[in-house]
Structure 1
């Protein structure tokens, strides 16, 4: 099996540091990277009191769900870009993160967000030169599907 930049421990460590520590909102949510597989990426969050929307029912806030799925989509796109168009070095690959932004996000809330831990996955359905499309899924620690999402991201290409 050929090693890629995605398998590079420096790339994984830097990506983990950026997503979990350097992006303030992701840090606030408590996002943790679980899988760097570009075909099966995964992030997680642990339930905390600060993430509740309905405190009397112990349910995850809808905005948290949307934010986690949006973050999952960006992570999935970055990994897919690294798989399909690897850069020569880790820093160049990481800069791709700053070259994308959400242009459309749709969330379907399927059931109340109850659980101790939540796992988000995503599939990049299209990675074009200017736009990427992603389908996302959020489940609790019992495997119950809490929400699904679809997103479109603008890929900002550098002018030559």
Structure 2
């Protein structure tokens, strides 16, 4: 089972449940996991009035943008860890998510967050024993780049 844990429907279902339902803030934002590919992870959110920062202009709040990019970074790291050093079972692999924390997050807001649907992607540029580095991207449904980000995560208790 460890060889293909990323493609395991139990792993994907449990991870979807954790991010989409069990993490209250991710649930509040309406995050949906779209791709479990460790080399091209993707999550998305739909625009809702509750997510507006500038209600007169209909723009996504900057804090929402930062939160989505932070979340896709963590998702990307978890998938990369599952690919490179799979655990013996699905639950142990999911628990790796709770052993990481953001230690640095930089967001570049490139243009106003206008759109009906937003897609966040990430690339893990380094996965070390204690720290992981990630580059992130957020685009609207037209493909317009709204923001980019770079993050560093502490990996607690990684062997």
Partner residue in 2 for 1:20 = 20
What residue is the counterpart of 2:89 in the other structure? 89
CA deviation digits over 1:109-151, x for unaligned, max 9?
0000000000000000000000000000000000000000000
Instruction: State yes or no: 1:35 paired with 2:40.
Output: no
Q: Distance in 2 between matches of 1:68 and 1:39?
A: 18
Q: Answer yes or no: is 1:143 the counterpart of 2:143.
A: yes
- Tell me the distance in 1 between the aligned counterparts of 2:95 and 2:53: 34
The CA distance in 1 between the partners of 2:121 and 2:69, in whole Å, is 8
The answer as to 2:72 corresponding to 1:78 is no
List gaps (5 residues or longer) in structure 1. Answer: none
CA–CA distance in 1 between the matches of 2:158 and 2:42? Answer: 28
Root-mean-square deviation over aligned CA pairs: 1.3
Q: Deviating runs (4+, > 4 A) in structure 1?
A: none
SS in 2 for 1:56: coil
Q: 1:107 to 1:158 in 2, by over 3 A?
A: closer
Give the direction of change, closer, same or farther, for the CA distance of 1:7–1:158 in structure 2 (3 Å limit): closer
Rate the CA distance shift 1:85–1:158 in 2: closer, same or farther, 3 A: closer
- The equivalent of 1:58 in structure 2 is 58
TM-superposed CA distance for 1:76, in Å, is 0.2
CA contact (8 A) 2:130 2:158 kept: no
Deviations 1:66-95 (A, max 9, x none): 000000000000000000000010000001
Q: Provide the rounded CA distance (Å) in 2 between the counterparts of 1:106 and 1:83.
A: 26
Q: How far did residue 158 of structure 1 move?
A: 6.0
Query: Aligned pair count?
Result: 158
The alignment's TM-score, normalised by the length of structure 1, stands at: 0.97
- The answer to whether structure 1 residue 122 and structure 2 residue 122 are counterparts is yes
